Amino acid sequence: MFSYYQDFKSSRIMDSFLQMVPQWAKILRDGERKELPVTELVVGDIVLLETGDRVPADIRILECQGLKVDNVSITRESIPVIRTANIPQTGNIIHAKNMVFFSTNVVEGIGKGVVVACGDHTVMGRVAKLTSRLSTRPTPLSREIHRFMKMISCWAVFLGVSFFCISVAMSYNWIDSVVFLIGIIVANMPEGIIATMTVSLTLTAKRMDNKNCLVKNLEAIETLGCTAVICSDKTSTLTQNKMTVRSIFFPYIGKISCKKCHNDQLIRRYQKIVFARTSPVQKLQIVESCQRLHLITAVTGDDVNDSPALKKADIGIAMDVAGSDVSKHVADLILLDDNFASIVTGIEEGRRIFDNLKSSIAYTLASNVPEITPFLAFVVFEIPLPLGVICILCIDLGTDIWPAISLAYEKSESDIMLRY
């Protein structure tokens, strides 16, 4: 089921990219002007561009008159940029003045150019492939629950086998010894912990929805509570579109983002860093650097070029009003009011649910002690078994689970935002 869910998410991501694909292109082929489906374009085709067109491929401009293109989906530049055929490409292709890119929009002028890349080989196509192929890390909560369940399972099996051997040594028959073995294991296992966790996270998700935070991945709630680093796309993401700059590094000049060790050193040294003019791959490298330092990393973004970093992050946060469909599909949490300050609410809720889950787990483990006692008395004092295996399961799932779930309604402590 988990594999199916991941494949389904990847297909949804690709579907959202397909919505950005222009359907038709005007070209010159064999000396004739034709209008063909974009899927039939090949490298070397001459494409005609007019005001209002969506660019059907990555194209190098040959001729143009007053051509301006909206590159917001590629570079996040909110002002249309002028394209020209007279300046040769230098440096990164993203900033070449004689290039227009797949899925961008022509807002003014006309032009003619040659196709240099189509489909998956375009800049946007590479972003789409990169995003769909990325694997996500298990959440801190799932890792802790997995580790806890592994430990408690090993302890339950060890205890059950040990007392099984003791009962056999005390000349109990095999049937009684096997019943004892199963009873000890069942009594030690917190069967209701997963149900308790799911209900607790669902209740918190509903509360966050009332505060303009839509949770797509339940476990992301707790992840937000233990976030150590927030990587934010500055353009149209932060509340006032203003940032206080402490340190500036330009990856195209110093090639900082191209080297893992440099990224790691920078993140260790500075608490606040601004990386200027970063590409989708470089944003992804920044997130990976944070994760290599064992920092729980949150990423906020609103556009296609943020999608690889959003998916790779421990928790991806997208904007609802200004955000693209791609970023919303990839993200774990969506800010319905595009208010960056809503993340603080999410952090508080995440820490509160972690505290409540610890209380629920402690209660569940404490309730296991009186369930084990009858089996110990059965072996040691040779008295009839007062509780059977089925009875213990009924107690765990029928009565113990309700007090454990009720702890999810506990309010947060007054100092919850000052602990870390």
Q: What kind of fold does domain 213-338 have according to CATH?
A: Rossmann fold (3.40.50)
Mark the ranges of the chain whose per-residue pLDDT is less than 50.
1-4, 6-7, 10-11, 13-14, 239-243, 248-249, 251, 253-258
Dist CA 369 CA 379 (whole Å): 16
Model confidence over 324-364: pLDDT tens digits?
A: 777 888 888 888 888 877 788 888 888 888 888 888 888 87
Q: What pLDDT is attached to residue 260?
A: 60
| Residues near 178 by beta carbon (within 8 Å), at least 6 away in sequence | 164
**Domain boundaries in the chain?**
2-133, 140-194+352-409, 213-338
- d(CA 223, CA 36) in angstroms, rounded, equals 48
Average pLDDT score, the chain? 79
CB-neighbour burial class of residue 306 (10 A; exposed 0-12, middle 13-18, buried 19+): buried
- Rounded to an integer, what distance in angstroms lies between the CA atom of residue 360 and that of residue 352? 12
> Right CATH number for 2-133 from 3.90.180.10, 2.70.150.10, 1.10.3720.10, 3.40.50.300?
2.70.150.10
- Retrieve residue 262's tokens: 């440099």
Q: What is the pLDDT of residue 60?
A: 93
Enter the pTM of the model: 0.74
CA-closest candidate to residue 353, choices 229, 224, 254: 224
Active site members: 233
What does the DSSP 8-state code read for residue 303? S
319: CB partners within 8 A, 6+ apart: 236, 237, 300, 301, 302, 327, 334, 335, 338
Supply the pLDDT for residue 261.
58
Rounded distance between C-alpha atoms, residue 416 and residue 300, angstroms: 23
